[in-house]
A = this chain, B = another copy of it.
Amino acid sequence: MNTACLFADWDPKPGFRLGPKDIEGQLTYLGSRVWRNPRIKYVEKEVPKPGPTEVLIEVKACGICGSDVHMYRAEPDGYIFYPGLTAFPCTLGHEFAGEVVDAGPLAINKRTGKNYKAGEPVCSEEMIWCSVCRPCADGYPNHCERLQELGFSIDGAYAKYIKVDGRYVWSLEELRNVYGDEKAFLLGSLVEPTSVAYNAVIERGGGIRAGDNVVILGGGPVGILACAVLRRSGAAAVIISEPSRRRREMALALGATHAIDPKEVNAADAVLEITKGMGAKLILEATGMPSVVWPDVERIIWEGRTLNSTVVIVARADDRIPVNGEVFQVRRAQVVGAQGHSGHGTFPRVITSMATGMDVSCVITKKIGLDEVEENLKLLNTNPTEVKVTLIPS
């Protein structure tokens, strides 16, 4: 089968030391310090054979994630932009849905409690948590000490087939029943990024109560999908701040009640005006530029009358955020970090929400074939027009 595979050269920067879990020439937890000259090759590989607890999935849809773009993007010195866990060459692609075509005898379908059967529509977590280390045993798979990642350090879904351990696979039967095959797979490929948003605002942000206001800073896919999740959860005002008009319109279509352009208006002023001075119970930092938006964040908390505001940091960034502790004392507020999508009942709740009205499929603004992966990785690097570009392999 044909695959879109990322290659790069193992060429550690000066001063790089192999970490305890790194493997010389193969795998590192600090990608941007090691990998150079990234390039996509379309490689012919054998269809994988599922092991005893694995399923073989025919990929029906696979979104391009910002991380994919960042793995392919080279800095001027040739090193890749993506800073995290990577092992190359690797078939990219981790936001996917497809149909089970084969399954090991011990691969269990969570939906039925029985063996997987061919024909089951499914999606998968991307985080390959070990189930054994202390974080896994304690119930925090997103923080597994022995994590692998599909499409980063293990072959992903820019291919006709992918094999995954049944532990990470979730049925999309509910979606197929409601939406039919094609749309079920499109929505299914959005379960992973929607779960990142859900994990951030519900599991880590503590959720909201119906009638609370929320603010989303940044209209990338996670920010937009968070609008859908929070409106669904009963938010009164769902205010997104995002410079791109297309993204603002999409956020409004999916659940935002107000969308502001931070180039035109001050976000804090706008939030305080829209909420008549109440502010927000939950503020999602999804811009990746926390120190830039922080003055607005603290003004919303300080000047808003809502106590107990929670700021959730979901976008990755190297910034130091200049936090004024007194704001958080006087307003009884908190800052939490969010990572991942696994565990805590998130995947199944996202799927059920999608099956009962939370149709976020309009996030997919472009569909491509396998041979168009490279050009679209390039495009997404420079052009924010598309929100989610999705590969339809067949």
* Interface set of A (CB-CB < 8 Å, partner B): 53, 108, 110, 113, 130-135, 137-140, 142-143, 145-146, 166-167, 198, 202, 204, 207, 209-212, 229, 232-234, 236-237, 257, 285, 290, 305, 307-308, 313-314, 316-339, 343-345, 347-353, 355-356, 358
Count identical subunits in the complex.
4
Contacts of A290 in B (CB 8 A): 325
Contact of A135 with B307 at beta-carbon distance under 8 Å, contacts A113-B146, A332-B142 already known: yes
Contacts of A323 in B (CB 8 A): 320-323, 335
Considering the chains assembled together, what is the distance between the CA atoms of A130 and B314 in angstroms? 31
Candidates B53, B134, B325; contact of A337 at CB < 8 Å: B325
Contact of A139 with B343 at beta-carbon distance under 8 Å, contacts A131-B131, A210-B202 already known: yes
Candidates B305, B324, B334, B350; contact of A134 at CB < 8 Å: B305
B339 with A332: CB separation less than 8 A: yes
Contact of A139 with B344 at beta-carbon distance under 8 Å, contacts A108-B132, A352-B236 already known: yes
CB closest chain-B residue, reference A308: B140
B333 with A325: CB separation less than 8 A: no
Candidates B232, B328, B337; contact of A336 at CB < 8 Å: B328
Query: Besides the contacts A138-B307, A143-B331, what 15 more A-B pairs have beta carbons closer than 8 Å?
Result: A53-B132, A108-B133, A108-B146, A110-B133, A113-B146, A132-B166, A132-B167, A137-B167, A140-B308, A207-B209, A209-B233, A236-B356, A327-B337, A330-B337, A332-B337
Leading 4 A-B pairs by shortest Cβ distance: A328-B337, A211-B349, A329-B337, A139-B139
Chain B CB within 10 Å, residue with most, of A130, A229, A351, A352: A352
Smallest CB separation, A262 vs chain B (Å):
19
Contact of A237 with B334 at beta-carbon distance under 8 Å, contacts A110-B132, A321-B323, A322-B320 already known: no
B234 with A234: CB separation less than 8 A: yes
B137 with A108: CB separation less than 8 A: no
Contacts of A257 in B (CB 8 A): 356
Contact of A334 with B337 at beta-carbon distance under 8 Å, contacts A146-B108, A320-B324 already known: yes
Smallest CB separation, A64 vs chain B (Å):
22
CB closest chain-B residue, reference A136: B131
Considering the chains assembled together, what is the distance between the CA atoms of A331 and B316 in angstroms? 13
Considering the chains assembled together, what is the distance between the CA atoms of A233 and B356 in angstroms? 13
B329 with A325: CB separation less than 8 A: no
Considering the chains assembled together, what is the distance between the CA atoms of A5 and B326 in angstroms? 28
A138 with B234: CB separation less than 8 A: no
B353 with A234: CB separation less than 8 A: yes
Chain B CB within 10 Å, residue with most, of A134, A139, A308, A347: A134
Smallest CB separation, A185 vs chain B (Å):
20
Contacts of A343 in B (CB 8 A): 137-139
